Structure formats: structure tokens, C-alpha cells
Amino acid sequence: MIGMMIIAMIFLSTMATLSIGFRASENARLNGDAQYFLESELEYIRTLKWAEIETLKQAYEANQKTSDSTKFTSISPDPRLSGIVSITARNSRSDQVEVLLSVQWNDSKGKSHDANIVTIVTKSGVTAS
């Protein structure tokens, strides 16, 4: 009887440990997918001409007025990931904008996570930080 209780305790603790490990593995995979998603969108933004950046900024400003968000152009590697682009003027200059790329997702327990990249786009190019 005592032996069965010890085996049951070992089995339950093993299952609890495996559950934590699987959840950590899922979160690490989703975080990696989010980083890939962000880098993909950043590379897309790097290919845009200044006129296209200004058009994207105007679309973002119009969407803000209607409380819609501006979605990424690329397709997410995982349907749980959603990406949003935020574009704001930088230092009140007409030749610079700050682009915030943000990805959000919920893990299997419903906890919200996010990853972000900020880049500065100028008429002469882009810098990533």
C-alpha cells in the first residue's frame, strides 16, 4: 500500500514537471516565431521607399482615428500571433518617423505576451534598434 502511494506521488510529480516543461517549450517556440515575424516585417519596411512610408503613416493615422489597428503585411507563422505597426513622427521632423513593430499572443494558459522592435526610418534609410 505504501509502495503504491509512493509510485502515485512519483507519477503525479513527473506529470506536473512535464506539464511545466511543455508550457515553457511552447512559449519559447512562440517567442521565436514572434521574433521571426518581427524581423520579416522589419525587412519589408526596409525595402519601402520614403513615399510608401509616408502612405503607411497616413494609413496608420487614419486607422487611429477609427480605433482600428494597422496589421502587418506579412503572414504570421502561427495563427496565435498578431502583429501591429505603429508609426509616429520623430522629434517633430518631417524627414523621420519612428516605426514600432509589435507582436502579441496568448499562451495555453491565456497569459498575454508581446515582443517589439523599434526602428527609425528617414528619407535616407532605416536604422534598427
Q: If you average pLDDT over residues 79-102, what whole number do you get?
A: 83
**CB neighbours (10 Å) of residue 80?**
15
pLDDT at residue 116 in the model: 92
Distance from C-alpha of 97 to C-alpha of 88, rounded to nearest angstrom? 6
Name the band, by pLDDT with cuts 50, 70 and 90, for residue 127: low
Residues facing 99 on adjacent strands: 87, 119
Report how many domains make up the chain: 1
Are 117 and 43 within 8 A, CB to CB?
no
Exposure of 7 by Cβ count < 10 A (0-12 exposed, 13-18 middle, 19+ buried)?
A: exposed
Distance from C-alpha of 71 to C-alpha of 54, rounded to nearest angstrom? 16
| Interval 12-70: pLDDT, tens | 999 989 988 888 898 888 888 888 888 888 888 888 888 888 888 888 877 766 655 67
Which residues constitute the domain of residue 42? 2-128
pLDDT at 72 over 70: no
Residue 108 identity: S
pLDDT at residue 73 in the model: 60
Contacts of residue 126, Cβ cutoff 8 Å, sequence gap at least 6: 45, 46, 119, 120
Name the band, by pLDDT with cuts 50, 70 and 90, for residue 9: very high
Q: Cα separations (Å) of 70 from 44, 81, 102?
A: 15, 14, 11
pLDDT at residue 52 in the model: 87
